[in-house]
Chain A
Amino acid sequence: MLRPDLLLQPTPKGLYCPPGDFYLDPVRGAVDRAVISHGHSDHARGGHGAVLSHPHTLAIMAARYGQNFAKSTQALEYGEVIDINGVSVWLTPAGHILGSAQITVEYKGLRMTFTGDYKRRWDPTCAGFDPVDGTHVFISEATFGLPVFRHPPTEHEMGKLLRNIADFPERTHCIGAYSLGKAQRMIRHLRLAGYDAPIYIHGALEKLCAVYEEAGVPMGDLRPATTDDTSKAAREAFRGQVVIAPPGSFEGTWAQRFPDPLIGFASGWMSVRQRAKASGVELPLIISDHADWDELTGTVREVNPDELWVTYGREDALVRWAMLEGRRARPLRLVGYEEEAG
């Protein structure tokens, strides 16, 4: 069989497929042909020549970068197989955010699957992760690849949020959530828990929430958190309400508009208590769009590839674990993927 690094090889621009002449999630500069796993900005950059991706990801990129974010685009549904210079390519749900996909490439009998970002637990805003059978090389992310990351059940964390809203009706519940994926998931979880009051959102979320609505994920009554009305009554009206905004916005002057804000942050990073405390977060919600340690290791066991490649995050720990299990594993040390979505 073909040597795996002849089919996919790490380069400074990202994972490159020589026989197909395309990149997976290129991180640096424009490339002629890119296959993109999901819409987060560190994976989906604008300005490439031809982009192949799931239709939802293309919609997200258009919302973020404008309609002309690439010279040409091609939509590929989950499970639909396409041939690029003799390389078969198909997408499988990754369960990370709306449109997120694992990318599988197959050539001369060698099958390799790149997970992009993924998680295993239920997310009401996107299709669930689907393991690819018969993959020879499994290329996994490892954002939370340390045994300290064990995300508690989502219901437990949502329970914390709902209890807080009930316990502190005089405070503004300001929840930091990444604007793509996490924010919409939080809104959806709140709705499913029966929270049908208006949810106030930061301007950065508006277009993306519209993309989700368009894709059939109902967001309920969303209202802008930023208004021109600076009266005391308008300010007071935020008491007891939920505001969702990108995490950084609560560090700026933007948060000053809300009375007695209670700052929360929905992220896998919140499991480290001192980290939450140091960043001034009063309500840490350990809700992540990435696989935690048990999901990462469980998925490798389930897919059971001949070889594990670890792309970014905590490669060392996951590779160490694989060695202890008697698995072949190597860190790729790809750079350029930031932690946009914890």
Chain B
Amino acid sequence: MQAFADLLERLLLTPSRSGKLRLLTSYFSTAPDSDRGFALAALTGELDLKSIKPAAIRTLAEERMDPVLFNMSYDYVGDLADTVSLVWQGERRANRAPPLSEIVETLETATRAEAPRLVASWLDGLDATGRWALLKLIMGGLRIGVSARMAKVALAEFGNVDITEIEEIWHGLAIPYEPLFAWLEGHADRPSPDISAPFRPVMLAHPLIPKADRETPDAVDASLITPEAFAAEWKYDGVRIQASVEGTARRIYTRTGDDISHTFPDVLAGMSFQGTLDGELLIRAEDGTGVAPFNALQQRLNRKTVTKRQMETHPAFIRAYDILHDGTRDLRALPFRDRRNTLETFIADHGSAQLDLSPLVPVTGLSELDKFRMHPPAPEIEGLMLKRWDSAYVAGRPAGLWYKWKRDPFLVDAVLLYAQRGHGKRSGFYSDFTFGVWKGDVLTPVGKAYFGFTDEELKELDKFVRENTIERFGPVRSVTPEIVLEVAFEGLQRSARHKSGLAMRFPRINRIRWDKPAAEADRLETLEAMLPE
């Protein structure tokens, strides 16, 4: 447990992704087998521990110390797990730190009444960091800035395998994953995905860069884009998924292999076929035919349970792009042309309110496609997908087969209002920027961006922030509203959580408009006009 606790603490405090990956791989290579398995389950959110209510933890602490002193401590620290871990005084005779595996296995068989006693005895044996980690674990929610995806990336690095190889078998594995670690360490063969409707690694596209725009090695010559060579489809702004049915098993995976079936029972109900489809998960617009904006889908994502009402107001469906398996045959080696034919028949037979077909866009040449890309028929379309007719379905991001060609980002000229200090490589630099636009004669914040600029520009912005600070709020400074930033973003939605009433998708700083006076920055009305209807 102590090693796991140290890992969690360092993960919490390490801001950089590469640093976190290093910590994870180093832990996987040193921790004993079942411990690292349970740790992996905890990090990927698969560990379903019997939770203990905060009130019970508090009672444990107050049995050991004066409640007034406990309250003074809690007031000072502010977080229950942190407070208890710090004030807890172990009984000297019980100084044995239990391994993580023992904690998990013992809690599994303990009754609700026994659990707090067990926890108290473990707290006795651990140091402050260990107690903190244990309490975080059993009170639910680690919140240490590590996603399930990152844990799997670390596993792939640890075993020196491709992450798709892990994603493919992930759902067939059971905690504490001994066969997985044995394979990654080279002691055993790769475990086979022995579940029904397994995940099949997804094929991804490269961005299309026409040679006319930029002479880079991966730029595409316009003459290659012909109706004979390429098919085109709309690129929808939803969540790319894989829908798989085998026997009675119906599953929906994200493109990284996370099983999100439980969140979409309405879609599962409409999947009356056998096989595996690649598609986009979308929400039906209120008119019953169109596609709702991305934030409608966000209302349904990342939920443990979904209510009937949510399914009625935000009905989800799949728009199918491709077919990987038709229930009898694996089709991935066939050319896209054959798969597309199969898919069209397949959807004609099995389509439902929860499953339809992604239409093809006619291809004549690059310039015509460019028009489609820039002026898609609906705001929920973010561009085009170009797929070679002869492309097999290849896991990962193979070169030269599929391209995504997004419409240009929206641009707005906004004024820098606040800056926050960065971490890691950006320690000492003000690198997170909040910007605003004019609403009447005041500037109202509309977004925050922390990339898009060059190192050189970062230095200049940092210098500006330091020389033009108005006020300091901890790591944040407000600055004289003088600098205009050209901000690029992918979309705009209404949001009650933001002061401006708007939320930007994927904002970044396109360039710094040193030339432009703040008075000439854009107005809120300009942004509002960019909202989808």
- A contact set with B: CB distance below 8 Å: 146-150, 152, 167-168, 174, 250-256, 260-261, 263, 271-274, 276-284, 314, 316-317, 320-321, 324
Chain A residues closer than 8 Å to B69, beta-carbon distance: 146-147, 317, 320-321
A147 to B475 Cα, complex, angstroms: 28
| B440 interfacial contact with A, CB 8 Å | no
Residues 71-92 of chain B, each 1 if its beta carbon lies under 8 Å from chain A, else 0? 0110011110011001100000
Chain A residues closer than 8 Å to B462, beta-carbon distance: 253, 256
Stretch of B40-48, B275-283, B313-321, B424-432 that contacts chain A: B424-432
A148 touches B427 (CB 8 A): no
B421 touches A280 (CB 8 A): yes
> Which of A272, A279, A321 has the most chain B CB atoms inside 10 A of its CB?
A272
A277 touches B427 (CB 8 A): no
A148 touches B26 (CB 8 A): no
Closest to B61 in A: A147
Residues 3-42 of chain B, each 1 if its beta carbon lies under 8 Å from chain A, else 0? 0000001001111000100100010000000000000000
Closest to B6 in A: A160
Closest to A279 in B: B475
A283 to B19 Cα, complex, angstroms: 12
| B377 interfacial contact with A, CB 8 Å | no
Q: Which 7 A-B pairs have CB atoms at the shortest separation, nearest pair first?
A: A255-B428, A148-B86, A147-B87, A256-B428, A148-B73, A261-B427, A317-B72
Partner of B76, one of A146, A254, A320: A146
A272 touches B82 (CB 8 A): yes
Q: How far is the CB of A160 from chain B (nearest CB, A)?
A: 9
For this complex, into which size category does the number of interface residues on chain B fall? 35 or more
Q: How far is the CB of B145 from chain A (nearest CB, A)?
A: 10
A320 touches B68 (CB 8 A): yes
A276 touches B13 (CB 8 A): yes
Chain B residues closer than 8 Å to A274, beta-carbon distance: 77-79, 82
A271 to B86 Cα, complex, angstroms: 8
| B65 interfacial contact with A, CB 8 Å | yes
- B contact set with A: CB distance below 8 Å: 9, 12-15, 19, 22, 26, 65-66, 68-70, 72-73, 76-79, 82-83, 86-87, 127-128, 132, 421, 423-425, 427-429, 462, 466, 474-475
A317 to B72 Cα, complex, angstroms: 7
Closest to B65 in A: A147
> Which of B13, B79, B424 has the most chain A CB atoms inside 10 A of its CB?
B13
Chain B residues closer than 8 Å to A282, beta-carbon distance: 13-15, 423-424
18 contacts between A and B (CB under 8 A): A146-B73, A150-B86, A152-B128, A167-B26, A174-B427, A252-B428, A254-B428, A256-B428, A272-B77, A272-B82, A277-B12, A280-B427, A282-B13, A282-B14, A282-B423, A316-B72, A320-B66, A320-B68
Partner of A152, one of B70, B83, B127: B127
A148 touches B87 (CB 8 A): yes
A-side interface mostly: mixed
Partner of A271, one of B65, B128, B424: B128
Closest to B82 in A: A273
A152 to B9 Cα, complex, angstroms: 15
Closest to A293 in B: B87
Chain A residues closer than 8 Å to B70, beta-carbon distance: 147
A261 to B423 Cα, complex, angstroms: 9
A-B contacts counted at CB < 8 A amount to 91
A147 to B77 Cα, complex, angstroms: 11
Partner of A253, one of B13, B86, B428: B428
Q: How far is the CB of A89 from chain B (nearest CB, A)?
A: 35
Chain B residues closer than 8 Å to A284, beta-carbon distance: 13
A150 touches B13 (CB 8 A): no
> Which of B15, B22, B65, B427 has the most chain A CB atoms inside 10 A of its CB?
B427
Known A263-B427, A273-B9; further 13 A-B contacts with Cβ < 8 A = A146-B76, A148-B86, A167-B22, A168-B19, A250-B428, A251-B421, A253-B462, A256-B429, A271-B86, A274-B79, A277-B12, A278-B474, A280-B423
Closest to A252 in B: B428
Closest to A261 in B: B427
Q: How far is the CB of B421 from chain A (nearest CB, A)?
A: 6
Partner of A281, one of B13, B83, B429, B466: B13
Partner of B86, one of A256, A272, A276: A272
Chain B residues closer than 8 Å to A148, beta-carbon distance: 73, 76-77, 83, 86-87
A271 to B128 Cα, complex, angstroms: 9
Chain A residues closer than 8 Å to B428, beta-carbon distance: 250-256, 261
B427 touches A250 (CB 8 A): yes
A23 to B432 Cα, complex, angstroms: 49
Q: How far is the CB of A145 from chain B (nearest CB, A)?
A: 10
B132 touches A273 (CB 8 A): yes
Chain A residues closer than 8 Å to B83, beta-carbon distance: 148
A152 to B6 Cα, complex, angstroms: 14
Chain A residues closer than 8 Å to B15, beta-carbon distance: 280, 282
B427 touches A255 (CB 8 A): yes
Chain A residues closer than 8 Å to B427, beta-carbon distance: 174, 250, 255, 261, 263, 280
Q: How far is the CB of A163 from chain B (nearest CB, A)?
A: 10
Chain A residues closer than 8 Å to B65, beta-carbon distance: 147
Closest to A264 in B: B13
Chain B residues closer than 8 Å to A152, beta-carbon distance: 127-128
Chain B residues closer than 8 Å to A280, beta-carbon distance: 15, 421, 423, 427, 475
B429 touches A320 (CB 8 A): no
Chain B residues closer than 8 Å to A147, beta-carbon distance: 65, 69-70, 73, 86-87
A263 to B474 Cα, complex, angstroms: 17
A261 to B427 Cα, complex, angstroms: 7
Chain B residues closer than 8 Å to A146, beta-carbon distance: 69, 72-73, 76
Q: How far is the CB of A157 from chain B (nearest CB, A)?
A: 11
Q: How far is the CB of A321 from chain B (nearest CB, A)?
A: 7
A260 touches B425 (CB 8 A): yes
A283 to B15 Cα, complex, angstroms: 11
> Which of A271, A282, A316 has the most chain B CB atoms inside 10 A of its CB?
A282
A317 to B78 Cα, complex, angstroms: 16
A146 to B72 Cα, complex, angstroms: 8
A260 to B429 Cα, complex, angstroms: 12
Chain A residues closer than 8 Å to B73, beta-carbon distance: 146-148, 317
Q: How far is the CB of A292 from chain B (nearest CB, A)?
A: 11
A106 to B9 Cα, complex, angstroms: 49
Chain B residues closer than 8 Å to A278, beta-carbon distance: 474-475
A321 to B68 Cα, complex, angstroms: 10
Closest to A316 in B: B72
Chain B residues closer than 8 Å to A253, beta-carbon distance: 428, 462, 466
Q: How far is the CB of A224 from chain B (nearest CB, A)?
A: 18
A263 to B16 Cα, complex, angstroms: 13
Chain B residues closer than 8 Å to A263, beta-carbon distance: 427
Q: How far is the CB of B61 from chain A (nearest CB, A)?
A: 10
Chain A residues closer than 8 Å to B66, beta-carbon distance: 320-321, 324
Closest to B72 in A: A317
A251 to B23 Cα, complex, angstroms: 25
B424 touches A260 (CB 8 A): yes
Chain A residues closer than 8 Å to B79, beta-carbon distance: 274
A284 to B128 Cα, complex, angstroms: 14
A254 to B427 Cα, complex, angstroms: 10
Chain B residues closer than 8 Å to A252, beta-carbon distance: 428
A168 to B73 Cα, complex, angstroms: 35
> Which of A147, A152, A260 has the most chain B CB atoms inside 10 A of its CB?
A147
